[in-house]
Chains A and B, each alone.
Chain A
Amino acid sequence: MESTHPFAEAWGRFKKNRTAFFATIFLGVLYFICLLAPFFSPYNSQTQHLDAAYHKPVGVHVFDAEGVHWPFVYKYELIDKARQIYTPIVGKRYPLRFFGKGDAYKLLGLIPMTRHFVTVDAPGRLHFLGTDLIGRDVLSRLLVGSQVSLSIGFLGILISFPLALLIGGISAYVGGKVDASIMRFLDVLMAIPGLYLVLTIRYVFPQKLSSIQIYLIITMIFSLIDWAGMSRVIRGIGLSEKERAHVYAARCLGQSPGLIIWRHIIPATFAYCIVAATLSIPGYILGEATLSYLNLGIQEPDASWGLMLAQAQSIRVFTQFWWILSPGVAIFIVVLAFNYVGEGLRDALDPKMKVVRS
């Protein structure tokens, strides 16, 4: 019988799970768009269209009284200044232009460009998801904000997993007093309710910092919390793995403890790590959104999904201008996709492990 690598088998099982597979592709597309966010957004995320505050989402039309056209939009007119109500001026059509020139930006932060995926000629406006209080395009901010929300989880697990593997591995292998003191420390960390711990650590740093600094701080705070629970599980796996024959054999052959942890104990935790990592990414996305919503995260004028939701803190604003809530939908979709991928990975990597996550 031909033997296959366990990961190849798992990949075969994963591909058969259609929802998980499509969720992966969907996330791939999202990450691609996120990487080139300024190109895909119709405007610069910080450009203020002060004459178009709370502009409602524009409709894209194909038909009008004269028949079928290339997709176009109408220009909108402010008819009620007190309540910010806009209506389309039916008549003059503004056709969508692909790869047209618009606001200047730097692609990937390096290459200066002015072309956008889709634009319209002025004075037409292309606000697919409307604008906010100071007339910034919501879709553009959503796309640029996705660079925070979509990357924070990956950066977070890049910090928390190596740490959990290291600490959990050492704790399991060395045992004794080292193990006990590490575990007591984790007990203390885990006995403080999550959000309280986050806030306490967040307040060690000044509230106003540059967005990039805050981004790094938030990532580290959430990794720290993520790390505690994972170390425990990895220690558990390590403890049972340590007693197995191949580890004894390695020890008899005189391999160093470090090498044994690296070669024999850590690989046994891979299945758990991959699944737990995928399923912990939504936690980072939600965490960033929560902190930014509380104004402890990413700062204006930069964009993040939580910060955009913070504009919805006034009930009068978001009941009237519902499109302000669109970052909430974005968070939901991304979290859902990650959960599907995580579930799929779990079923694929360990068909026996059927216990459902709480």
Chain B
Amino acid sequence: MKTVILRRILLLLPMLLAISFLSFALMSKSPGNYLDTLKLNPQMSQAKIDKMTVEFGLDKKWYVRYGLWLRNAAKLNFGESFHYKQPVWDVITARAWNTFILSSVSLVLTWGIAIPLGVLAAINRGSLFDKVTSFLAFMSLSFPNLFLALLALFFAYITGWLPVGGMRSVDHELMTSGEQFFDILHHLVLPVFVLCFSGVAGLMRLMRGTFLENMRADYVTTARAKGMPEGQVMFKHVLRNAINPMVTLFGFSVAGLLSGAVIVENVLGFPGLGQLALEAFFAKDEFLVMASILMASFLLIMGNLLADILLVAVDPRIRYE
């Protein structure tokens, strides 16, 4: 087991290397660069543009630039954002924290709602509750996130109950810490709702499916035959077995913590990493894009690894040789 984890972690480095190479190569094929937008500005002199071209190394061949980037990255220096004139790392960490709060709140809520709902639906299979929740889940799975975010904006604007865009009010700094907490919470309602919507639906259906499957297993008959109370059969035996495939999914959710909300953040104007990454893509802010991609990929790989480890932890039948 330990060797497997070790091998996977060792594999991480070549993977990230390959990812960075692929993204850098693709980006260098992209027509134009960050300075193109600056050139449109009449106040920008040609001399200044030339100076910046040299400064950012934009006059060099892409593989030379990649080499330079790699050498700096090895020293954990991921370059400076063209646009923000700050080290990429600082720009990202400021935003990543916002996205992390948003995603983890949605993650907890999604799992907290979906698992009990799925179990209830499975135990009461064929009941009105089961039919209604299954139908709603199917509907919400087909609901485009983009459209839902727009509808959420519509709702917030019409009712005026919820703030639109941002994560803090203008007077956030003047508030007491308690008020600040509720202020952030207030701003989180809309994006969290949109993120949970389809998440709950998918997870609930999955939970219901695996729970039903396990309810048909032989060990359930055995447990019932020896007179075990129904509640104990369901929650001690079936639930524990049914939760196994969910564990893998939990790893995937962790993987998406920093990159799963790009569209929602953009539509709702939430100042997170997704919004930053998209802006960086639009502005061709090379180093910022590279760092965003790498960070999100890193989390994805780690999430998958976490899923595999968790699975071994909860299911003694699974062993890696």
**In the assembled complex, how far is the CB of residue B159 from the closest CB belonging to chain A, in whole angstroms?**
11
CB of A6 within 8 Å of the partner chain: no
Q: Can you name the residue of chain A whose Cβ is closest to the Cβ of B24?
A: A200
CB of B205 within 8 Å of the partner chain: yes
**In the assembled complex, how far is the CB of residue A145 from the closest CB belonging to chain B, in whole angstroms?**
15
**Could you list 7 examples of A-B contacts with CB < 8 Å?**
A191-B301, A201-B26, A293-B146, A319-B157, A319-B158, A354-B209, A357-B202
Which residues does chain A contribute within 8 Å of B146, judged by CB atoms? 286, 289-290, 293, 306, 309, 328
Docked complex Cα distance between A60 and B278 (Å): 43
Which residues does chain A contribute within 8 Å of B102, judged by CB atoms? none
Q: Quick check: B151 and A328 within 8 Å, CB to CB?
A: yes
Interface residues as binary, B201-227 with A (CB distance below 8 Å gives 1, 0 otherwise):
011011011101100000000000000
Which residues does chain B contribute within 8 Å of A282, judged by CB atoms? 142
Which residues does chain A contribute within 8 Å of B92, judged by CB atoms? none
Q: Quick check: B26 and A200 within 8 Å, CB to CB?
A: yes
Docked complex Cα distance between A329 and B151 (Å): 11
CB of A187 within 8 Å of the partner chain: yes
Task: Give the top 8 A-B pairs by smallest Cβ distance, nearest first.
Answer: A328-B147, A356-B209, A336-B142, A193-B259, A203-B30, A335-B142, A193-B296, A188-B18
**In the assembled complex, how far is the CB of residue B137 from the closest CB belonging to chain A, in whole angstroms?**
10
CB of B297 within 8 Å of the partner chain: yes
**In the assembled complex, how far is the CB of residue A235 from the closest CB belonging to chain B, in whole angstroms?**
18
CB of B84 within 8 Å of the partner chain: no
Which residues does chain A contribute within 8 Å of B202, judged by CB atoms? 357-358
**In the assembled complex, how far is the CB of residue A260 from the closest CB belonging to chain B, in whole angstroms?**
30
Which residues does chain A contribute within 8 Å of B164, judged by CB atoms? 315
CB of B300 within 8 Å of the partner chain: yes
CB of A192 within 8 Å of the partner chain: yes
Known contacts A325-B147, A328-B147; is-contact A195 B142 (Cβ 8 Å): no
Which residues does chain A contribute within 8 Å of B289, judged by CB atoms? 200
* Interfacial residues of chain B within 164-222, with CB under 8 A of chain A in the complex: 164, 202-203, 205-206, 208-210, 212-213
Docked complex Cα distance between A204 and B300 (Å): 24
Q: Quick check: B209 and A355 within 8 Å, CB to CB?
A: yes
Docked complex Cα distance between A273 and B289 (Å): 35
Q: Quick check: B29 and A319 within 8 Å, CB to CB?
A: no
Known contacts A319-B157, A335-B144; is-contact A356 B205 (Cβ 8 Å): yes
CB of B150 within 8 Å of the partner chain: yes
Given contacts A325-B154, A328-B146, 8 further A-B contacts (CB under 8 A): A192-B297, A200-B289, A293-B146, A294-B266, A306-B146, A332-B142, A354-B209, A354-B213
Which among A201, A294, A315, A358 is the interface contact of B249 at CB below 8 angstroms? A358
Which residues does chain B contribute within 8 Å of A318, judged by CB atoms? 150, 153-154
Q: Quick check: B144 and A286 within 8 Å, CB to CB?
A: yes
Q: Quick check: B23 and A322 within 8 Å, CB to CB?
A: no
Q: Quick check: A358 and B15 within 8 Å, CB to CB?
A: no
Which residues does chain A contribute within 8 Å of B292, judged by CB atoms? 196
Docked complex Cα distance between A336 and B140 (Å): 9
Which residues does chain A contribute within 8 Å of B157, judged by CB atoms? 315, 319
Which residues does chain A contribute within 8 Å of B262, judged by CB atoms? 195
Known contacts A196-B259, A203-B27; is-contact A339 B297 (Cβ 8 Å): no
**In the assembled complex, how far is the CB of residue A139 from the closest CB belonging to chain B, in whole angstroms?**
18
CB of A206 within 8 Å of the partner chain: yes
Docked complex Cα distance between A358 and B203 (Å): 6
Q: Quick check: B259 and A309 within 8 Å, CB to CB?
A: no
Candidate in A187, A199, A204 with the most chain B CB atoms within 10 angstroms: A199
CB of A159 within 8 Å of the partner chain: no
Candidate in A195, A319, A340, A354 with the most chain B CB atoms within 10 angstroms: A195
Docked complex Cα distance between A332 and B145 (Å): 10
Q: How big is the A interface, by class?
A: 35 or more
CB of A349 within 8 Å of the partner chain: no
Q: Can you name the residue of chain A whose Cβ is closest to the Cβ of B29?
A: A204
Docked complex Cα distance between A329 and B147 (Å): 8
Docked complex Cα distance between A282 and B143 (Å): 10
Which residues does chain A contribute within 8 Å of B266, judged by CB atoms? 294
**In the assembled complex, how far is the CB of residue A181 from the closest CB belonging to chain B, in whole angstroms?**
12
Q: Quick check: A191 and B26 within 8 Å, CB to CB?
A: no
Q: Quick check: A315 and B144 within 8 Å, CB to CB?
A: no
Which residues does chain A contribute within 8 Å of B141, judged by CB atoms? 339
Docked complex Cα distance between A329 and B292 (Å): 32
Interface residues as binary, A328-356 with B (CB distance below 8 Å gives 1, 0 otherwise):
11011001100110000000000000111
Interface residues as binary, A163-200 with B (CB distance below 8 Å gives 1, 0 otherwise):
00000000000000000000000011001110110011
**In the assembled complex, how far is the CB of residue B266 from the closest CB belonging to chain A, in whole angstroms?**
8
CB of B113 within 8 Å of the partner chain: no
Q: Quick check: A191 and B300 within 8 Å, CB to CB?
A: yes
**In the assembled complex, how far is the CB of residue B106 from the closest CB belonging to chain A, in whole angstroms?**
16
Docked complex Cα distance between A204 and B147 (Å): 28
CB of B70 within 8 Å of the partner chain: no
**In the assembled complex, how far is the CB of residue B148 from the closest CB belonging to chain A, in whole angstroms?**
8
Docked complex Cα distance between A191 and B13 (Å): 12
Which residues does chain B contribute within 8 Å of A193, judged by CB atoms? 256, 259-260, 293, 296-297, 300
Docked complex Cα distance between A9 and B302 (Å): 44
Q: Can you name the residue of chain A whose Cβ is closest to the Cβ of B138?
A: A339
Which residues does chain B contribute within 8 Å of A294, judged by CB atoms? 266, 278
Which residues does chain A contribute within 8 Å of B205, judged by CB atoms? 356-357
Q: Can you name the residue of chain B whose Cβ is closest to the Cβ of A333?
A: B142
CB of B277 within 8 Å of the partner chain: yes
CB of B263 within 8 Å of the partner chain: yes
